[in-house]
Amino acid sequence: MGECEISGGYGIRPYCFVFAAVILVLLGLGLLLFSAARSNSNNTITLAAAGDILLDRGVRVQLEQHGYEYSYAWVKDILHKADIAFANLESPLAAGGTAVFKDRTLLFRGDLENAAALKDAGFTILSLANNHTMDYGSEGLSSTLDVLGSSSILSLGGGVNAEEARQPVYITSNGGVIGFLGYSVFPPEGYVSFPHREEIARVNIEFLPEEIAKAKRSCDFLVLSFHWGREYDFFPSEQQGEEILLRLQKFSQGFGTSILIREGKGHLEKG
């Protein structure tokens, strides 16, 4: 596994790909570990990146039986060894809220107690840019922002309005600054969007170049996350095929992105 130089004087080493254990069955959680180091320094920054975390349906049943920390037992040590641990939280955390108008079997909501369990598991920052964050409307997102903040977990890709949702988040670690931007290709089903109310960050090609370039000016290393990919397919569709992904990667890196993360699959994909 070679090292590649990127802007800011960092090199990236992917340590391992798709860590799978029992937790994969519960959450579809695969882990990517990256290490970034300045070429003129011995300091390194390790990033653990996971996929979608779903805290409803069958996962809720397991958590109610075994405790909110149960799902992370097999990866907790890995997450805590990383300087930064990132994932996509695909369930609002709320005690209430009004369900949006959509298929009832696709409405997700996790208990508030999950926030403390996510913190205990080692997660540093969670993306809310996905099509389920708004399943319980503005109240659901507002509650999620509050409970994650109270648990000292950073969030991106969701905010009290559209502008805040698109803001980058920066983390200082081992002498370097890591920036994060998160977007969803999928719109939130059943949620009526207005610029001045709670919203997630949606992909907008018109805004992306400026947002990426601006974020990169304030950090050494920029991580760009997309919630993207058709679920329950075992082979890549034309949309999520390698050629399209490479085009998006080149587009993003052309404006200063260091790592591109794509979430959105509920299982390991063939091909």
How confident is the model over 3-38, as pLDDT tens digits?
222 333 444 333 332 332 223 323 334 566 666 655
Task: Kindly state the tokens that stand for 268.
Answer: 């390991």
Model confidence at 257: pLDDT above 80: no
| Helix or strand run (H / E) with residue 78 | helix 76-81
What's the pLDDT at 198?
Answer: 95
**For 190, phi and psi rounded to 5 degrees?**
80, 0
Q: How confident is the model at residue 255 (pLDDT cuts 50, 70, 90)?
A: low
Query: Which residues partner with 47 through β-bridges?
Result: 34, 84
Strand 84-89 versus strand 221-227 pairing type = unpaired
17 or 119, greater pLDDT: 119
Instruction: Name the pLDDT band for 66 (thresholds 50, 70, 90).
Output: very high
Q: Which whole-number Å values give the CA distances from 227 to 7, 63, 257, in the listed order? A: 25, 25, 16
List the 221-227 sheet strands across, edge first: 169-173, 176-184, 221-227, 259-263
Q: Assess whether pLDDT exceeds 90 at residue 110.
A: yes
Can you list the alpha helix ranges (DSSP code H) found in 93-227?
114-121, 137-150, 162-165, 208-216
Amino acid at the residue 252: S
Q: Provide the pLDDT for residue 1.
A: 25
Contacts for 148 with CB less than 8 Å, ≥ 6 apart: 89, 93, 115, 118, 126, 154, 155
Q: How many CA atoms lie within 13 A of 90 on its CB side?
A: 27
Provide the mean pLDDT of the chain: 80
Q: Which fold has domain 10-263?
A: Purple Acid Phosphatase; chain A, domain 2 (3.60.21)
Q: Is residue 216's pLDDT more than 60?
A: yes
Condensed to tens digits (0 to 9), the pLDDT of residues 67-99 reads: 999 999 999 999 999 999 999 999 999 999 999
What is the structure's pLDDT at 18? 30
Domain boundaries, the chain: 10-263
pLDDT score recorded for residue 17: 29
pLDDT attached to residue 231: 57
Tell me what pLDDT residue 269 has: 36
Within a 10 A sphere around the Cβ of 157, how many other Cβ atoms?
27
| pLDDT grade for 219, boundaries at 50, 70 and 90 | very high
Assign 193 a pLDDT band (cuts: 50, 70, 90).
confident
One-letter amino acid at 224 equals L
